[in-house]
Amino acid sequence: MIKLAGIKKSYDKHEVLKGIDLVVNKGEVVAILGPSGSGKTTLLRCINYLEKPGDGEISIGDFHFRCKRPHKKDVHSLRQKSAMVFQHYNLFKNKTALQNVMEGLVIAQKVPKEEAKRRSIALLEKVGLGAKLDAYPSQLSGGQQQRVGIARALALNPDVILFDEPTSALDPELVGEVLGVIRQIAKEGITMIIVTHEMSFAQEVANHVVFMDQGVIVEEGAPSELFNNPKEERTKQFLKRIRPEANV
Amino acid sequence: MVFDMEFALKSLPKIIAGIPMSLLISVFAILAGLVIGFLVTLCRMYKVPVLNRLAIIYVSFIRGTPLLVQIYVIYYALPMVADWAGMKLGLPISSADLPPLAFALTAFTIYSGAYLSETIRAALSAVDPGQMEAGYSVGLTTWQTFRRIVIPQAFVVALPSIGNNFLGLIKGTSLAFTVMVIEVMSNAKIAAADGYRYMESYVDAAIVYWLLCIVFERLFAWLEKRSGRYRSKSA
């Protein structure tokens, strides 16, 4: 279980996260929606400390992390609990697809090289890139790079995988292949938090949807509830703006 | 006065014999300079108090003074430092033990460190910050990410400039004769004085430097191609 309590984050005087509380159960797929500037990506990045939260507490499993003046070692431990799939893939450019997936296993988790290789190959095959093991990121399409990114995250076997708008940098025709892979792993019971603009995808894959605006969680609930029967005015307006065809 | 081809050919081997020393100085200076340049860059990137200021002054001073002047300053300053270290710190060194090579290595390293720090700073900032984040996200430490991901990529960016620096150093070693180091230029001067044929010896020296630089130009071009393989579109 992942528990965020009172997460706050400010840039200078501007408060981006105003005390976020969120519980994500094991195996749950949570989609975070909201207009740009609502703080959803910042929240996601706080969970593995790519953004430093100013205050609050993050619990992943039985690991508790206080955000105020943390110890360097705790930051490292926190980061090892999660894995991130980035909007711009952020594959290691000087490493092949296979090396990208193996890196965290061999270097951070000290898995023996042979075993890491076997597991990494299996994962790359799973995301449909068994033929691209030795390709460098520059030789892969955006969709292929993002699938390597997903395999890299899966390899770490983390408590939670964080997806930061995983398809928003992709050409439209490549979105499908990436969503397909995410859909597939969602079915396997891996805990995931996804920040996304793909509404129909969120509705289909997520068990729980969170709507954020201006640094707070406005509303959260089951997808069918939140999409078809939103309670808050801000949620209604947001959904109307991005799905003018739907009646809410 | 005519060009004495025979003399030129005869003195060539003597001048060539200076190549190992020229190379020793330039290779040492580029490697040690890379380490210094990297440390200077870290001081500046992380804005380390005091060291950051010192780093700025160091780079500005070295880039703003002629190499020859620096060599002379080192020539007189280093013995003072050695004696001081010997007397005050009780280290077993004194100015009398300093071989000429010590002056050259010190001067050229200090010189190349300043220039390389600029190269390294530019190269490191050319690496996408997302690479560091990706390293953190798979559980690597800052240093592991630096060593395995960021530095190899920065190195590829820096290579052309490192190559330029290295060629500059090879040619710069011709000033080492001023502190009694016997390298290509010193040998050319000796050969010239022996036979009173200055032009022939200096033409020899020019050719030796030129060929040396061509070899290293090729080597760096090959290195660039090899280490930058991951950047190409085709497999």
Q: What is the pLDDT of residues A184-199, one digit of tens each?
A: 998 888 999 999 988 8
Mean pLDDT of A135-139: 96
pLDDT of residue A245: 67
pLDDT of residue A122: 96
Mean pLDDT of B46-68: 94
What ipTM describes this predicted complex?
0.92
Residue A180: pLDDT above 70? yes
A88 interaction partners in chain B (CB closer than 8 Å):
130
In tens, the pLDDT along B113-162 reads: 999 999 999 999 999 999 999 999 999 999 999 999 999 999 999 999 99
pLDDT of residue B201: 93
* Best CA proximity match to B110, nearest among B188, B158, B172: B172
B231 interaction partners in chain A (CB closer than 8 Å):
93, 136, 138
pLDDT of residue A87: 95
The alpha carbon of residue A213 is apart from the nearest alpha carbon of chain B, in Å, by 25
Q: Name the β-bridge partners of A15.
A: A10
> Which residues, 6+ apart, have CB-to-CB distance to B117 below 8 Å?
B36, B37, B38, B40, B41, B44, B55, B59
B230 interaction partners in chain A (CB closer than 8 Å):
93-96, 136-138
Say which DSSP state B65 is in: S
Q: DSSP secondary structure string, B39-60?
A: HHHHHHHTT-TTHHHHHHHHHH
* Best CA proximity match to A43, nearest among A61, A28, A58, A63: A58
Mean pLDDT of A84-107: 96
Mean pLDDT of A129-140: 95
Q: In what order do the strands lie in the sheet with A192-195?
A: A82-85, A160-164, A192-195, A29-33, A208-213, A216-221
Q: Alpha carbon B227 to chain centroid distance?
A: 21
pLDDT of residue A13: 86
Residue B83: pLDDT above 80? yes
Residue B90: pLDDT above 80? no
In tens, the pLDDT along B160-208 reads: 999 999 999 999 999 999 998 999 999 999 999 988 889 999 999 999 9
A137 interaction partners in chain B (CB closer than 8 Å):
230
- Closest Cβ opposite residue A139 in set B144, B152, B233: B233
pLDDT of residue B122: 94
Q: Name the β-bridge partners of A192.
A: A29, A161
Residue B91: pLDDT above 80? no
- Closest Cβ opposite residue A108 in set B138, B232, B233: B138
A76, A99, A103, A144: best to mutate for the B interface, most B CBs within 10 A? A103
Write the secondary structure of chain A as one string of H (helix), E (strand) and C (coil): CEEEEEEEEEECCEEEEEEEEEEECCCCEEEEECCCCCCHHHHHHHHCCCCCCCEEEEEECCEEEECCCCCHHHHHHHHHHEEEEECCECCCCCCCHHHHHHHHHHHHCCCCHHHHHHHHHHHHHHCCCCCCCCCCHHHCCHHHHHHHHHHHHHHCCCCEEEEECCCCCCCHHHHHHHHHHHHHHHCCCCCEEEECCCHHHHHHHCCEEEEEECCEEEEEECHHHHHHCCCCHHHHHHHHHHCCCCCC
Q: Name the β-bridge partners of A83.
A: A161
Residue A157: pLDDT above 90? yes
Of B51 and A245, which is predicted with more confidence? B51
Quick check: B22 and B170 in contact, CB under 8 A? yes
In three-state secondary structure terms, B196 is coil
> Which residues, 6+ apart, have CB-to-CB distance to A31 below 8 Å?
A194, A195, A196, A202, A205, A206, A208, A209, A210, A223
pLDDT of residue A124: 96
> Which residues, 6+ apart, have CB-to-CB distance to B5 below 8 Å?
B200
- Is B235 close to A139, i.e. CB distance below 8 A? yes
pLDDT of residue B67: 95
Mean pLDDT of B59-85: 92
Strands A216-221 and A208-213, sheet pairing: antiparallel
> Which residues, 6+ apart, have CB-to-CB distance to B187 below 8 Å?
B14, B15, B17, B18, B205
pTM score over 0.95: no
Q: Which pairs count as long-range contacts for A3-6, CB under 8 Å and 24+ apart, including other chains? A: A3/A57, A3/A58, A3/A59, A4/A43, A4/A46, A4/A47, A4/A56, A4/A57, A4/A58, A4/A59, A5/A56, A5/A57, A5/A58, A5/A59, A6/A55, A6/A56, A6/A57
Residue A108: pLDDT above 90? yes
Q: Measuring CA to CA, how many Å separate A91 from each of A160, A186, A238, B1, B24? A: 19, 22, 33, 66, 39
Residue A247: pLDDT above 60? no
Domains in chain A, please, with CATH? 2-242 (3.40.50.300)
Mean pLDDT of B74-88: 87
Q: Name the β-bridge partners of A18.
A: A8
Residue A244: pLDDT above 80? no
Q: How far apart are CA B12 and CA A43, in angstroms?
A: 70
Residue B109 identity: T
Domains in chain B, please, with CATH? 35-168 (1.10.3720.10)
- Is B230 close to A93, i.e. CB distance below 8 A? yes
pLDDT of residue A163: 96
Q: Using a pLDDT cut of 90, give the percent of chain B over it.
A: 77
pLDDT of residue B235: 52
Of A44 and A13, which is predicted with more confidence? A44
Mean pLDDT of A12-31: 93
